[in-house]
A and B are shown apart, each in its own frame.
Chain A
């Protein structure tokens, strides 16, 4: 009987530890952000100057850099990810074509961020640089657009697999009812499948956005690491994650380090909210089915 109870307690303690870890992570981030919050207050997210030498910490350039790269990546990614979702969820549910596409998408998901960054730096950046020279803009090569392109490829497998999952949850008898009224596949998809799975697809897009916001290495390597607000999509910039990666080990001074932790805190809060609501919507779908 005693071992019985001990066993149950061990299980419970593990679950509690997992929960505590997340709570402690949050508390740690908050506590270590305090010096920066005290010094900068709200201007942290409104000030556009990040100058550690002058002890001035405005994270606006990174917030804008993060939003720009992530949103552009999402816009590039969405048509492709919806196509893959529909191909795997509606057209080829099994068989060779489905297997090949699924396998390739999984391969994309398996390549680590650092390799994407490395490849981007040595292959994509020169290509973009050439295009920029042709267009008569300053040929940085690195920058917002380059990062967005890499990010788009990186989040594709994630958003496509959520999309596919959601689309497969559309009840078969609704699709059959539409077919039995004379609708072809295109009409079934646009009139039944998409409206039914809309909220799930949007949730999937948001979850993918969460991924893009926090993606670090690949972006750090191709964004150009400039601490100014990017003038256009070809400009170099920095994201919240990339500035942490670049400056954390070099940060001298309590406020400097604290300011970087505060950026981490902002990232934590944003991604936690996105994940919470995104997963909620998807779960709602599973129950509905």
Chain B
């Protein structure tokens, strides 16, 4: 059979092959360029950060301007407190909402909750800060770690709810049926069969949520506010690592910049570790169906 229309010169074919290869190389080049800033940032963090880290750095309070040394112990404790309370707020409601969504895939409440989660996740954190200020700072007349934790919780709820929903959705219906067949009631089936099966996924969601809020600054500017002293009272202003970085980085004092670099390094390492651990949990403990 002779080809009537399909005529292609050899040179054109070679051109097509070259175009294909050049395109692939171009994409790879752009992808490589895109991650170069990462190396710059990590390099700087490591160089400046490690230099300012020592035992003192973790154990002492910041010193007044002019004195060298000092540490970030108040910010470390503050971040810990803020995260602890935000988890207490967000974890129960996030998980329960997630369970509700995975159990009720249709219906008005479900679609409203789903939409709300999407919107909540998209709200800029600074706006969440305004809300926590109006709800929990203004009425009490003072900034507090409590209001900061609440604001962080608002950021975590969608992450926890979503990962719970998605994890539980993966669990086959037959597992539930098997439980019903044994005469186990609905709530016990959820609590004793479904949730334990999804533990790794839910835990991953929690860790990712913590990683998300650990570096959060904007929400805390007018809620937790920051505090140069050690404070364990959650109803008073509390310092946090990101707040401290912001205040010190924008100050004119090189000594404080040094502390801020060290704090940035610690913060990034903490967040990356959380990400890695959550990945490891997902890989290691996920039950395959």
Contact = CB atoms under 8 A, between A and B. Distances in A.
A–B interface present (Cβ within 8 A): yes
Main secondary structure of the interface of B (DSSP, over half): helix
A14 B122 contact: no
Nearest to B41: A119
Given A25-B131, A80-B31, A107 B272 contact: yes
Interface in A98-138: 101, 104-108, 110-119, 121-123
A260 B23 CA distance: 47
Interface residues of B, number: 85
Contacts of A264: 126-127, 130
Contact of A217 (B27, B116, B217): B217
A153 B37 contact: yes
A90 B120 CA distance: 32
Given A114-B242, A279-B118, A214 B109 contact: no
Interface string B242-256: 100110011000000
A28 B187 CA distance: 36
A274 B33 contact: no
Interface of A: 3-4, 6-8, 10-12, 14-19, 21-23, 25, 28-29, 32, 79-81, 83-84, 86-87, 91, 101, 104-108, 110-119, 121-123, 153, 156, 160, 184-187, 189, 210, 213-217, 221, 241, 244-245, 248-249, 260-261, 264, 267-268, 271-272, 274-276, 279
A-B residue pairs, 6 tightest by C-beta: A112-B215, A214-B124, A275-B122, A7-B187, A14-B96, A83-B30
Given A19-B109, A112-B214, 9 more contacts: A10-B96, A15-B104, A107-B42, A114-B217, A114-B245, A217-B246, A244-B129, A261-B134, A264-B130
Interface of B: 16-17, 19-20, 23-24, 26-28, 30-31, 33-35, 37-38, 40-42, 44-45, 92-93, 96-97, 99-101, 103-104, 109-110, 112-113, 115-131, 133-135, 154, 157, 161, 185-187, 190-191, 211, 214-218, 221-222, 225, 242, 245-246, 249-250, 257, 260-261, 264, 267-268, 271-272, 275
